[in-house]
Structure 1
Amino acid sequence: MKKIQTLLNFFLNEKFKDKSENVIIYISIIAFIGHLLFIFLNKINFIQLELVTSLYNNPIAAIYTPFSFILIYEVYLLVYYLPKSTTIYIGKQYEIILLIIIRRIFKDISNLELTSNWFAVKYDLIFLYDIVAVVVLFFLIFIFYRLSDLQKKEAVINDKIERFIAIKKGIASFLVPVLLILSFYSFYDWIVKSFFSVNELVYNFDDINKIFFEDFFTVLILVDVLILLFSFLHSDKFSTVIRNSGFIISTIMIKLSFNTEGILNDILLVFSVVFGILILLIHNKYEKLKKNI
């Protein structure tokens, strides 16, 4: 058991994080070049990739692949920061959904028609919604981290908090193998359904953006609930309970967004971050007020 714990802790140390970053960069470059090669081979009809034509008929769409690996690294960072800071952990969730939208833009860019009748074309409108959502979410994440910094300056470490951090480290260690298994299963399931399943010859490749991440956010909801329950070990403050409960609601809204599309998807994602910001803002104001009483 001790050896297993040592192995899991290995994935959460800073050296492994730095090495992982370098590895992901190299893998992303190789994957980008490989994707471009497939597009070229598809263009000259050397291979036929009709099922995934939206990803293999435009060189710009090749950016989708390296972004997928960057997202994997962001998932790892989320787990890495879980024991260190709850707000940074939530912020990483917001970063992930922002990167998912950016990745989706690179995928859908090959569907743009760029006609004078822009507002009547479905994919052109979706592209416009996503572009606006990226700017709004980027600004909202900036605000969230500013509020998080203000909270950290006022934080006081004691024995109960150290015990809570140790519990979160244990949860993060458990998440490492869970997410690895989930990622391999999601990739395997997509490959089977896309290329080998007779019943899935007509496959909706809009769902490619849901691969792994829909299940991933389900896991995060369960993790957030565990964090909320364990938080009672070091604090039963009303403001902390409401803050952590609000973060769970924010994560649930992100999860629900995977069942929507178009402008509704972007609105739900933006609102989930706005909700998280408001919860954190009110929490900080509440704590400041209590100290002055």
Structure 2
Amino acid sequence: MNFLNKIYQIFLSEFAKRRIEKTILYVALFGFFIHLILIYLSKFGVVNLSLESELFKNPISAIYTPFSFILVYEVYLLIYYLPKSFTTYITKQYEIITLIIIRKLFKDLSALELTSDWFQIKGDLQFTYDILASVILFYLIFQFQKQGMQKSTQQKDNKLKIERFISRKKIIAIALVPIFFMMAFVTLFNWTSDVSLGSNDLASFETINNLFFDEFFTVLILVDVVLLLISFFYTDKFHKIIRNSGFVVSTILIRMSFGVSGLISTILIVLAVLFGLAIIIIHNKFEKNTLPNNV
């Protein structure tokens, strides 16, 4: 356990979080300026990227790059909070999918067609769906965090069980660090290789927007299921089992949104967060009605 604690301190301590935050911020700024330079070099014919991608047509699209690195940092924060707070861990999942929508909005802004046929143009209509969804998700996440702040009614004799559960979650978090960063590196390497080689098989923008995160949420589903199964060793409370099971369903709905496009994808994402919020509200009502001597 001493070895695991040392690994945990290296990658998931407060000091490590600050260091990674600063590093990703610098990389995000650097990536933004590089993307911007490439757009203008391509625009003036200085370089030929052999690309038809919408990411290289308008300077506003350059915002897509730093947001991608911010999302990588959000992935790290999700792992960071996993041992500390289960509800914060779930909140980070919701924040990540919301930021993916916000990132897509910056790309869509550069391709808007401001005409009287707004609701007849597919791209403009999707922009409308996404901008409404981002506001709704922002509010739902606020409510979810508010519900998550309510203290659980725990008996003192459960303290040892809670500590054991936290130690198991630390092991999972340590394992996730190399897995997720390796996934991010492989995804970035493969995509940049295709770009530099001018591959004709480049993914559509919709696919690019989902790169890494479709696999990421697949792994999260497996992690959530493992956490659910482990929780059975430490609690037999019905409302907690339903809460943890509900969060798994919520993550599955988010993952399903990557398999479809347009309005259906947006609806699935909003439904996932709304379902998670409903689950935690009902869970908290159970907590308030549970007397300590009946636990």
Fold shared by both chains (TM-score > 0.5):
yes
Counterpart for residue 53 of structure 1 = 53
Counterpart for residue 74 of structure 1 = 74
Counterpart for residue 166 of structure 1 = 167
Contact 1:8–1:174 (CA under 8 A) maintained in structure 2: no
Counterpart for residue 93 of structure 2 = 93
In structure 2, relative to structure 1, the CA distance for the partners of 1:2 and 1:166 (3 Å cut) is closer
Q: CA deviation at 1:173?
A: 0.3
- 2:38 counterpart of 1:42: no
CA distance in 2, matches of 1:250, 1:80: 20
Q: CA deviation at 1:153?
A: 5.6
Counterpart for residue 134 of structure 2 = 134
Q: CA deviation at 1:111?
A: 1.9
Query: Unaligned regions of 5+ residues in structure 2, if any?
Result: none
Counterpart for residue 185 of structure 1 = 186
- The residue type paired with residue 94 of structure 2 is Y
Q: CA deviation at 1:237?
A: 0.8
Q: CA deviation at 1:249?
A: 0.2
Q: CA deviation at 1:9?
A: 3.8
Contact 1:94–1:273 (CA under 8 A) maintained in structure 2: yes
The TM-score with structure 2 as length reference comes to: 0.93
Counterpart for residue 269 of structure 1 = 269
- The residue type paired with residue 63 of structure 1 is I
Counterpart for residue 124 of structure 1 = 124
- The residue type paired with residue 167 of structure 2 is A
Per-residue deviation, residues 109-143 of structure 1 (Å, max 9, x unmatched): 22211111111111101111110011000000000
Q: CA deviation at 1:189?
A: 2.7
- The residue type paired with residue 218 of structure 1 is T
Counterpart for residue 256 of structure 1 = 256
Contact 1:84–1:165 (CA under 8 A) maintained in structure 2: yes
- The residue type paired with residue 245 of structure 2 is S
Contact 1:217–1:254 (CA under 8 A) maintained in structure 2: yes
Contact 1:39–1:56 (CA under 8 A) maintained in structure 2: yes
- The residue type paired with residue 22 of structure 2 is N
Q: CA deviation at 1:95?
A: 0.3
Contact 2:153–2:287 (CA under 8 A) maintained in structure 1: no
Instruction: Map 1:201-280 to 2 at 5 A.
Output: 203-280=203-280
Report which stretch shifted further, 5-14 or 70-79.
5-14
Per-residue deviation, residues 168-219 of structure 1 (Å, max 9, x unmatched): 0000000001111111121223234455486616x42221111110000000
- 2:290 counterpart of 1:290: yes
In structure 2, relative to structure 1, the CA distance for the partners of 1:208 and 1:143 (3 Å cut) is same
- The residue type paired with residue 173 of structure 1 is I
Q: CA deviation at 1:289?
A: 1.4
Query: Unaligned regions of 5+ residues in structure 1, if any?
Result: none
Contact 1:54–1:108 (CA under 8 A) maintained in structure 2: no
CA distance in 2, matches of 1:244, 1:275: 12
Identical columns (%): 51
Per-residue deviation, residues 152-178 of structure 1 (Å, max 9, x unmatched): 364556000000000000000000011
- The residue type paired with residue 115 of structure 1 is T
Aligned residue pairs, count: 291
Q: CA deviation at 1:5?
A: 6.1
- 2:30 counterpart of 1:30: yes
